[in-house]
Amino acid sequence: MAGATESIHGMWSSRIMFILAATGSAVGLGNIWKFPYITGENGGGAFVLVYLGCVVLIGIPIMMAEVLLGREGRQSPINTMLALAERSGRSRHWQLLGWVGALAGFLILSYYGVIAGWAMAYVFKTGSGALVGADAGVAEGLFSAFTGNVWEVLFWQVVFMCLTIFIVARGVGQGLEMAVKYLMPALFVLLLVLVGYATTTGHFGEGLAFLFDFNFGKLTWEAVLVAMGHAFFTLSLGMATMMAYGSYMPRESSILGTVAIIAVLDTVVALLAGMAIFPVVFANGLEGSAGPGLMFITLPLAFGKMGAAGQFFGTVFFVLVSFAAITSAISLVEPAAAWAVEKFKITRVRAAVTIGAIAWLLGLGTVFSSNIWVDVFFLGERNFFDSVDFLTAQFMLPLGGMLISLFAGWFLDRQIPRDQMSETHPLLFNAWVFAARFIAPVAVFIVFVMALF
């Protein structure tokens, strides 16, 4: 029995729209601050080569599995997994895989909306000139004062979540597609503008050396594990977003070719971000530390030291970060919203508002983590934000990605992948089957275990 021709939720108008949407989901805050830093710290070009190998052996096979499951099922990830399990003669419990992915995306959205709100706030803080000429103490003080102000953080969380809900509520064609149609090209343009500015700092070569010099002495086993883990996480795998987006993918589009383009674009954005960020950081003699410290303290400080030009390009940077956050956030809402429409027969507007409101409410824990709950711990010595991040990143996403690969490789009716990838050369198809069955799940399991212990 073949899958439905179209999803009841709508369809991407073309292959390029699916590529933009999926790339938008994959490109997020981690691309902008995490990947450039871990590349420079773990061997530069040597690390990039290992990372690309991991993308080919882990990221692409699992993404292909998610997309083909979604395109065959043409429903929300939860109902897709139920339908495909029953059609393949497998246990109905496989639908729990859809639940794990949708729940992981929902939990990530709860704190993602808060951090993205920080980025939106900094568009105006940087643009107002508050950081022009600031020293390290001023930059750190501004960030601490901002995150310590419950009402200000809450305001920006509400703004970001309302924008996200509005886009999702408008549907696939008028909402998701219209957003990525304009935001993704704008993101690439802004990124190239920032790279162009970085070439004028006098430290562009130092930034390139940090990212691309082949330093095999830093390429340890731990660095390989970092590359394996990031190859999995950077492509938005294990959270059902690619399955949901795949359900809107045109039947005539090549899954392998499309997924390969998405993986390349995701990597290009991450490398361009490093080329834009580190020359600015090094030009001011600052440390390119990872995490929120780089994005909200080090970079604003660096741009602030560059006067009016730094003020302008610093504002452009946070607009870029906000665009990346929006295209990722809408993909986090989609799996749960699609399921709510199917399950309760409600309008898409009501589903998006309900899911978004619950995520906003849960996100209050992250809002409070930097102020009134700063000394409240949940999982071990972790605050609320760190606990949710740990639960999703270390448990739910690896578990979801590993099981998706195993289901598609071992338990799915074998004719379904053949039909979905009928245009793929037999040699490449067999390579995908081998990777989905053996390489990808084993590699994700290793990352899973090493991250825990």
Question: Could you tell me the CATH number of the domain that includes residue 40?
Answer: 1.10.4160
Q: Dump pLDDT digits (tens) for 275-302.
A: 999 999 888 888 766 667 788 988 898 8
Strand-pairing partners, residue 44, are 214
Give a yes or no: residue 337 inside a domain. Answer: yes
Longest Cα–Cα distance in the chain:
66
What local confidence, expressed as pLDDT, does residue 327 receive?
A: 96
What is the distance between the alpha carbons of residues 329 and 119, in angstroms, rounded to a whole number?
A: 13
* Helices first, then strands: H and E counts in the chain: 23, 0
Give the number of other CB atoms < 10 A from CB of residue 128: 11
Of 405, 434, 27, 443, the closest CA to residue 229 belongs to: 443
Nearby residues of 297 by Cβ (< 8 Å), 6 or more positions away: 136, 139, 140, 143
The pLDDT-based confidence of 3 (bands split at 50, 70, 90) is low
| Amino acid in position 333 | V
CA angle in degrees (0–180, nearest 5) for 404-406-408: 65
What local confidence, expressed as pLDDT, does residue 289 receive?
A: 64
- Token couple for 143: 């960030």
What is the distance between the alpha carbons of residues 152 and 367, in angstroms, rounded to a whole number?
A: 10
Q: Dump pLDDT digits (tens) for 160-197.
A: 999 999 999 999 999 999 999 999 999 999 999 999 99
For residues 435 and 57, the answer to whether their CB atoms sit within 8 Å is yes
**What is the tally of structural domains in the chain?**
1
What is the distance between the alpha carbons of residues 57 and 169, in angstroms, rounded to a whole number?
A: 36
Give a yes or no: residue 8 inside a domain. Answer: no
Of 312, 390, 370, 299, the closest CA to residue 157 belongs to: 370
For residues 269 and 27, the answer to whether their CB atoms sit within 8 Å is yes
For residues 122 and 318, the answer to whether their CB atoms sit within 8 Å is yes
- Token couple for 101: 């992915």
For residue 361, give its domain range.
Answer: 15-452
Checking if the pLDDT of 81 tops 50, the result is yes
Of 278, 9, 22, 239, the closest CA to residue 112 belongs to: 239
What local confidence, expressed as pLDDT, does residue 53 receive?
A: 94
The pLDDT-based confidence of 2 (bands split at 50, 70, 90) is low
Nearby residues of 221 by Cβ (< 8 Å), 6 or more positions away: none
What is the distance between the alpha carbons of residues 133 and 36, in angstroms, rounded to a whole number?
A: 26
What is the distance between the alpha carbons of residues 76 and 247, in angstroms, rounded to a whole number?
A: 8
- Token couple for 201: 């700092």
Q: What share of the chain is helix, strand, coil (3-state, %, to 5)?
A: 80, 0, 20
Give the residue-averaged pLDDT of 120-143.
91
Give a yes or no: residue 208 inside a domain. Answer: yes
3-state secondary structure of 170: coil
For residues 25 and 164, the answer to whether their CB atoms sit within 8 Å is no
What is the distance between the alpha carbons of residues 332 and 188, in angstroms, rounded to a whole number?
A: 21
- Token couple for 111: 């704190």
Q: Dump pLDDT digits (tens) for 435-453.
A: 999 999 999 999 888 877 7
Give a yes or no: residue 415 inside a domain. Answer: yes
CA atoms within 13 A on the CB side of 406: 14
The pLDDT-based confidence of 31 (bands split at 50, 70, 90) is confident
Give a yes or no: residue 4 inside a domain. Answer: no
Give the number of other CB atoms < 10 A from CB of residue 188: 18
Q: What is the chain's mean pLDDT, rounded?
A: 93
Secondary structure element (H or E) that encloses residue 239, with its range: none
% the chain with pLDDT above 70: 98
Q: Dump pLDDT digits (tens) for 33-66.
A: 788 888 988 989 999 999 999 999 999 999 999 9
Specify the length of the chain in residues.
453
- Token couple for 398: 């690896």
What local confidence, expressed as pLDDT, does residue 1 receive?
A: 43
Give a yes or no: residue 21 inside a domain. Answer: yes
For residues 354 and 152, the answer to whether their CB atoms sit within 8 Å is no
What is the distance between the alpha carbons of residues 20 and 29, in angstroms, rounded to a whole number?
A: 17
Give the residue-averaged pLDDT of 85-95.
97
Give a yes or no: residue 66 inside a domain. Answer: yes
